[in-house]
Structure 1
Amino acid sequence: MKDRNHSGPFFCATISKKENNMEEKNQTIVKKTVKNGITFGTCLAMVISYTTWHSVFWAIIHGLLSWIYVIYFILRY
């Protein structure tokens, strides 16, 4: 007798749905992580800039540079 739990198109379709669902979840997690990382980098750059130079103008400019300014600040100072 054939084992119906591990063969046939229904089982394959179930695996495909699970794999697709996992891929979608992983993509969502990566997108959220990237968005939060960019926001945190911008905020960090602005805080470092403002506390160092006491200028809103430079804080905005450095916030646009984000992680580039943070890395520059770490290496320079």
Structure 2
Amino acid sequence: MKKDSIKTGISFGCALAMIISYVKWHSILWAIIHGIFSWAYVVYFMVMGY
């Protein structure tokens, strides 16, 4: 059960980072790069206030 939650959280974080990146930069390449960094980019985005 715990492994499923972790896998879902990672997948959600990746998708969220990619969506935020694409909306901000309008670039598929940047969306993929930010998707790799996943939750780190989401937290950075929130901290920087964009």
TM-score tier (shorter):
over 0.9
CA distance in 1: counterparts of 2:3 and 2:33, whole angstroms: 25
Alignment size in residue pairs: 49
2:43 matched to 1:67? no
**Normalising by structure 2, what TM-score?**
0.96
Offset, 1:56: 0.3
Aligned to 1:39: 11
CA distance in 2: counterparts of 1:38 and 1:47, whole angstroms: 14
What runs of 5+ residues in structure 2 fail to find an aligned partner?
A: none
Q: What root-mean-square deviation, in Å, do the aligned CA atoms of Structure 1 and Structure 2 show?
A: 0.4
Q: Percent identity?
A: 55
2:12 matched to 1:52? no
CA distance in 2: counterparts of 1:41 and 1:32, whole angstroms: 14
**Segments of 4+ moved more than 3 angstroms:** none
CA distance in 1: counterparts of 2:42 and 2:34, whole angstroms: 8
**Normalising by structure 1, what TM-score?**
0.63
CA offset digits 1:18-45 (Å, max 9, x no partner) = xxxxxxxxxxx10000000000000000
Relative contact order higher in (CA < 8 Å, ≥ 6 apart): 2
Report which of the two structures shows the higher radius of gyration computed on alpha carbons: 1
